Chains A and B, each alone.
Chain A
Amino acid sequence: MSSQLDADKWVNEYGDMLYRFALPRVNDKEVAKDLVQETFLAAWRNYDNYKGEISEKNWLFTILKNKIIDYYRKASTRLTESLSGADDGDSFFDEDSHWAKRAYPQDWNIDYNQPIERKEFYEVLNKCRQKLKDIQNAVFTMKYLDGLDSEQICKELNLTASNYWVLIHRAKLQLRSCLEKNWFTS
């Protein structure tokens, strides 16, 4: 009976917190929910090993972070196909590697020094991120949400530096273009 109570407490106290941490990182509601569920399961099964050195909350977050990294790593095993897509960045440039006419960046007519504190901007950004390949999104997220540098990301995902720069470069080209179409000029 006490386990019933603890399960309730865990899920109600930490469930949303963990979910909101996972969601922007995997950018998929189902995946985020599954990762939270797996986190609770792993914690539940290993509760005997929990020494109480860190708070229960931090312990759960540590488990979740590892689950997210595992999820990213699965995406990085499909790296070859991610790097070979022809429409993946090359389409922004012509045969001389200058901007293709159809891809010329437009002026967004904003103050580029001001932060954009608009919920709608982030909604569009998330929609645009959904069009990225999983591994591009992983690299982008680790860089900007977790503030990791290229060496750390390469180590975590087992990438070479040159693969990393290709992935982040393409992710940015695509996001910039998608934001322009769906936010700044719509």
Chain B
Amino acid sequence: MISCKEATDFITKKEESKLSLWQCFQLWKHLAVCTFCRLFAKQNNILAKNTPHLHKYIEDSLSAAEKQSMVEVLSGLH
């Protein structure tokens, strides 16, 4: 039986289809009996599915002073 450390590593690799058939089977066997790694797998999935949308929630902008200073730096070159 693989350890939880290996199982969580396999879960990450499985996302990119980087597991051999034998490793898939080992992971499947481990998940069948390990509640914690099953939770890790679901939560890892949450991370993988939601992170790509992160940029939608970025509303920050440069301050007027920061913009002004950029303009000055550029203008100073000529």
Q: Which residues in A have some Cβ–Cβ distance to B below 8 Å?
A: 3-4, 7-8, 10-12, 15-16, 19-21, 23-24, 29, 33, 36-37, 40-41, 44-45, 92-93, 96-99, 104-108, 110, 112, 115-117, 119, 121-123, 125-126, 140, 144-145, 147, 149-150, 165, 168-169, 172-173, 175-176, 179-180
Q: Is the CB of A20 within 8 A of B70?
A: no
Expressed in whole angstroms, the Cα–Cα distance for A126 and B57 within the complex equals: 11
| Shortest CB distance B27–A (Å) | 14
Interface size class of B (residues with CB under 8 A): 35 or more
Please pick, from B9, B40, B66, the residue contacting A105 in the complex, using a CB distance under 8 A: B40
B20 adjacent to chain A (CB < 8 Å): no
Q: Is the CB of A97 within 8 A of B39?
A: no
Chain B residues whose CB sits within 8 angstroms of the CB of A175 once the complex forms: 47
Chain A residues whose CB sits within 8 angstroms of the CB of B37 once the complex forms: 99
Q: Knowing A19-B62, A96-B3 touch, does A150 contact B77 (C-beta < 8 A)? A: no
The secondary structure that dominates the B interface is helix
Chain B residues whose CB sits within 8 angstroms of the CB of A11 once the complex forms: 67, 70-71, 74
Q: Is the CB of A44 within 8 A of B74?
A: yes
Chain B residues whose CB sits within 8 angstroms of the CB of A37 once the complex forms: 70, 73
Q: Is the CB of A149 within 8 A of B40?
A: no
Q: Which residues in B have some Cβ–Cβ distance to A below 8 Å?
A: 3-6, 8-9, 12-13, 16, 18, 36-37, 39-40, 42-55, 57-62, 66-67, 70-71, 73-75, 77-78
| Shortest CB distance A121–B (Å) | 7
Expressed in whole angstroms, the Cα–Cα distance for A33 and B5 within the complex equals: 38
| Shortest CB distance A86–B (Å) | 15
